[in-house]
């Protein structure tokens, strides 16, 4: 991590911000922990069907995806995983830095696209949460447009993606490589396009939260 501040007042791109945040092999380790892969954490984008599978007698949560199913789907669709802010020590550390600086509760969403020919289902969209996105593996083109206050007037929500069509030039157009970071304020339209197989982590801030009153336990246990 370099000395540049993590949080920005407007959209900003920082090269080489944090290297080795999450690797393909570390992601595989997480997928192999089946109790972690609940249907509340695993999001299959653009796939409008449900899956059934046979569980072991010892399975504590029958709603956890089998690792082999997730692996096969990674070649077909974009998948992201939520509630992952304690997935690794590095991810937990970044989440803590953001929480301490902004006093907002932070999650980590892991985005995976193994085939750049797969179109991202979100398209150009904006979120109701501020986001810090760190590229972990591969390259992703990010375009960010200026906030359109008229477009979001009267809308409420948290963590909701609103798809839109952009007709103006973006204020930021960058190809992110491993270690790069981008800050996207809420209501700023943006579009992510995978240029290669892509692995990235997004850190959304819950704008109406107060981490001093409640939040994730950021203590990291070693034995």
What pLDDT score was predicted for residue 142?
96
Which residues touch 194 (CB under 8 Å, ≥6 apart)? 113, 115, 116, 118, 120, 138, 139, 140
In a domain, 183, yes or no: yes
In a domain, 212, yes or no: no
CATH of the domain at 114: 2.60.120.650
Q: What are phi and psi of 162, to 5 degrees?
A: -115, 115
In a domain, 54, yes or no: no
In a domain, 132, yes or no: yes
pLDDT by residue, tens only, the chain of 223 residues: 544 444 456 889 999 999 999 999 999 999 999 999 999 999 998 776 778 898 999 999 999 999 999 999 999 999 999 999 999 999 999 999 999 888 899 999 999 999 998 877 778 888 888 999 999 999 999 999 988 666 555 555 544 556 666 778 999 999 999 999 999 998 888 999 999 999 999 999 987 788 877 889 999 999 9
Does residue 187 come out as left (phi exceeding 0), alpha (psi in the -120 to 50 range) or beta? left
What pLDDT score was predicted for residue 158?
45
In a domain, 90, yes or no: yes
In a domain, 95, yes or no: yes
In a domain, 53, yes or no: no
What pLDDT score was predicted for residue 161?
57
What pLDDT score was predicted for residue 187?
84
- Residues shown for the chain: 223
What pLDDT score was predicted for residue 4?
44
Nearest by Cα to 108 from 188, 34, 218: 218
Q: What's the domain count of the chain?
A: 1
In a domain, 138, yes or no: yes
What pLDDT score was predicted for residue 153?
55
Instruction: Specify burial of residue 63 (Cβ count, 10 A radius: 0-12, 13-18, 19+).
Output: exposed
Domain that holds residue 149: 12-44+63-206
What pLDDT score was predicted for residue 154?
52
What pLDDT score was predicted for residue 99?
92
């Amino acid at each position: 991590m370099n000395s540049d501040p993590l949080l920005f007042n407007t959209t900003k791109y920082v090269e080489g911000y944090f290297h080795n945040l999450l690797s393909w092999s570390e992601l595989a380790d997480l997928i192999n922990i089946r109790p972690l892969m609940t249907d509340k954490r695993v999001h299959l984008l653009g796939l409008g069907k449900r899956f059934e599978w046979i569980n072991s007698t010892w399975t504590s949560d029958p709603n956890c995806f089998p690792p082999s199913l997730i692996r096969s789907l990674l070649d077909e669709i974009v998948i992201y995983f939520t509630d992952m802010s304690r997935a690794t020590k590095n991810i937990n550390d970044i989440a803590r830095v953001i929480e301490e600086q902004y006093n907002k509760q932070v999650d980590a969403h892991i985005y995976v696209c193994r085939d750049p020919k797969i179109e991202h289902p979100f398209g150009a969209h904006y979120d109701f949460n501020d986001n810090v996105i760190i590229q972990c593996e591969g390259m992703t083109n990010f375009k960010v447009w200026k906030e359109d206050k008229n477009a979001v007037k009267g809308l409420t929500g948290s963590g909701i993606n609103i798809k839109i069509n952009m007709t103006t030039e973006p204020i930021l157009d960058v190809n992110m490589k491993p270690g790069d970071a981008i800050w996207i304020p809420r209501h700023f339209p943006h579009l992510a396009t995978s240029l290669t197989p892509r692995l990235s982590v997004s850190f959304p801030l819950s704008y109406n939260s107060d981490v001093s009153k409640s939040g994730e336990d950021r203590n990291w246990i070693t034995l």
